[in-house]
Amino acid sequence: MAKIFISLGSNIEPERHLKAALTDLDYHFEQLELSSVFESEAVGFDGTNFLNMVVAAETELSIAEVVSTFKQIEQDHGRVKGAKKFAPRTLDLDLLLYDDIVSSQPIELPRAEILYNAFVLWPLAEVAPSLLHPVVNQSYQTLWDNYDKQQQSLWPVEFNWSA
């Protein structure tokens, strides 16, 4: 069983889409652990605020199968295939970590944005504070503690979901 960490984000009806994604993730994966949900301003474009979170889960699927499952969930919830990278979205699911694998194919792991996006690092530090980043060899809590908090503004928000 592989331990995976997933970044979820949405800025189009974000609460509804995060809840729908969690229901789908609960169907496809095991042992979901949820971070808090954080609201943040859009990064890279002018748009409405995002809701973001990180989910830890377990799976027997390969990396490629996990990514394919995420793409299907995104499309099922209105994500337009081939849409611009920096644009509003109903749902964005990204595989951050797959065990401690470091790879460039079929995707880059660990995902680079872990180190520079507060909306990824803070919730990841919540669900896996003592886990070590497989490249920089520091815990996610240490990385968050040392993160320049002036770079990006985000704050926890109330969010309730149950499987």
Residue 106's domain is classified under what CATH number?
A: 3.30.70.560
Please state at what angle helix 14-28 crosses helix 63-76, rounded to 10 degrees.
140
Residue with tokens 């969930």: 73
Is residue 44 in some structural domain? yes
Confirm whether 94 is domain-assigned. yes
Q: Which residues are catalytic?
A: 79, 89, 92, 94
- For tokens 């002018």, what's the residue? 46
**Distance of alpha carbon 107 from its chain centroid, rounded?**
15
Three-class secondary structure of residue 90 per DSSP: coil
List the domain range (segments joined by +) for residue 82.
2-157
What pLDDT was estimated at residue 162?
82
Backbone dihedral angles phi then psi of residue 20, each to the nearest 5 degrees: -65, -40
Residue 132 lies in a domain: yes
- Establish if 163 belongs to a structural domain: no
pLDDT tens per residue across span 52-74: 999 999 999 999 999 999 999 99
pLDDT, residue 82, reads: 60
Q: Give the per-residue pLDDT at 90.
A: 86
Provide the pLDDT for residue 42: 78
41 in any annotated domain: yes
Q: What is the pTM of this model?
A: 0.93
Q: Are 109 and 102 in contact (CB under 8 A)?
A: yes
Instruction: Assess if residue 15 is contained within a domain.
Output: yes
* Within a domain: 101: yes
Q: Is there a domain that residue 32 lies in?
A: yes
Number of domains in the chain: 1
- List the chain residues with pLDDT less than 50: none
